[in-house]
């Protein structure tokens, strides 16, 4: 579920207040942190541009960037529910074969592990004076 209006002038909802996910894939907190860092990133940009951090333009950018991450995370969680919620024999067999395949293919296994650990969502870029240029917060 998600709220219809996650931002208003001077107000931005983050975490469960903005979106709640099925806990099956354990992604909600990871997503909340990425959302928070996207918000901080937009605050930083607003500061550089001399715009107030509560301006709807600033908060709207947070909303639209984070929405993409949120939608992808929901799709990932929902696909796991659909896949593991099926008890039909052919689907269960394909699922088991897929799990064996995942174990045999290191690249696929790494991709899935990063996804499951919440490391594949949007990576916010927060350059503060004194930060190393490559220093980023969030995930790729
Ligand atoms: C079983 C389960 C397992 C999970 N496992 C994982 C996992 O492995 N990895 C992961 O990333 N995520 C996981 N999650 C999701 C994660 O718990 C949430 O995404 C995360 O807690 C959201 O943090 P939040 O601070 O936004 O909201 P919440 O943790 O829901 O915090 C909101 C707080 O506000 C308080 N509150 C509510 N209304 C009021 C009010 N009117 N006045 C004052 N206080 C109020 C509540 O009591 C609560 O303490 C799991 C969730 C569940 C249910």
Distance CA 40, CA 53 (A): 9
Is 96 within a domain?
no
Q: How many domains does the chain have?
A: 1
Is 24 within a domain?
yes
- Taking the centre of ligand 1 as the mean of its atom positions, its distance from the CA of residue 69, in whole angstroms, is 18
Evaluate: CB of 27 within 6 angstroms of ligand 1.
Answer: yes
Average pLDDT of the chain to the nearest whole number: 87
Is 99 within a domain?
no
Evaluate: CB of 9 within 6 angstroms of ligand 1.
Answer: no
Is 36 within a domain?
yes
Ligand 1 site-directed mutation target among 3, 16, 37, 74, most atoms within 8 Å of CB = 16
- Long-range contacts made by residues 128-134, C-beta under 8 angstroms, separation at least 24? 128/44
The least confident of 2-6, 117-121, 123-127 is: 123-127
Is 25 within a domain?
yes
In the block, tokens 């689907």 appear at: 91
Structure tokens at 59: 């908060």
Q: How far is CA 107 from CA 10, 67, 87, 112, 114, in A?
A: 44, 28, 28, 9, 11
pLDDT in tens, 11-60: 999 999 999 888 888 899 999 999 999 999 999 999 999 999 999 999 99
Is 60 within a domain?
yes
Evaluate: CB of 28 within 6 angstroms of ligand 1.
Answer: yes
Nearest CA to ligand 1 atom 53: 23
Evaluate: CB of 24 within 6 angstroms of ligand 1.
Answer: no
Mean pLDDT, range 103-119, rounded to an integer: 88
Residue 45 lies in domain: 7-86+118-138
Q: Which residues contact 18 (CB under 8 A, 6 or more apart)?
A: 2, 3, 6, 35, 66, 70
pLDDT in tens, 57-73: 999 999 999 999 999 99
**First CA to last CA distance, the chain:** 25
Is 91 within a domain?
no
């Amino acid at each position: 579920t998600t709220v219809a209006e996650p931002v208003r002038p001077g107000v931005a909802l983050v975490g469960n207040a903005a979106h709640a996910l099925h806990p099956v894939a354990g992604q909600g907190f990871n997503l909340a942190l990425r959302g928070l860092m996207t918000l901080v990133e937009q605050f930083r940009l607003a500061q550089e541009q001399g715009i107030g951090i509560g301006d709807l333009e600033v908060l709207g950018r947070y909303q639209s960037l984070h929405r993409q991450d949120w939608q992808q995370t929901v799709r990932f969680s929902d696909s796991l529910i659909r896949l593991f919620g099926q008890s039909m024999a052919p689907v269960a067999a394909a699922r088991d074969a897929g799990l064996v395949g995942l174990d045999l293919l290191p690249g696929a296994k790494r991709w899935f592990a990063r996804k499951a650990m919440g490391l594949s969502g949007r990576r916010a870029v927060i350059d503060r004076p004194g930060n190393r240029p490559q220093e980023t917060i969030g995930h790729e």
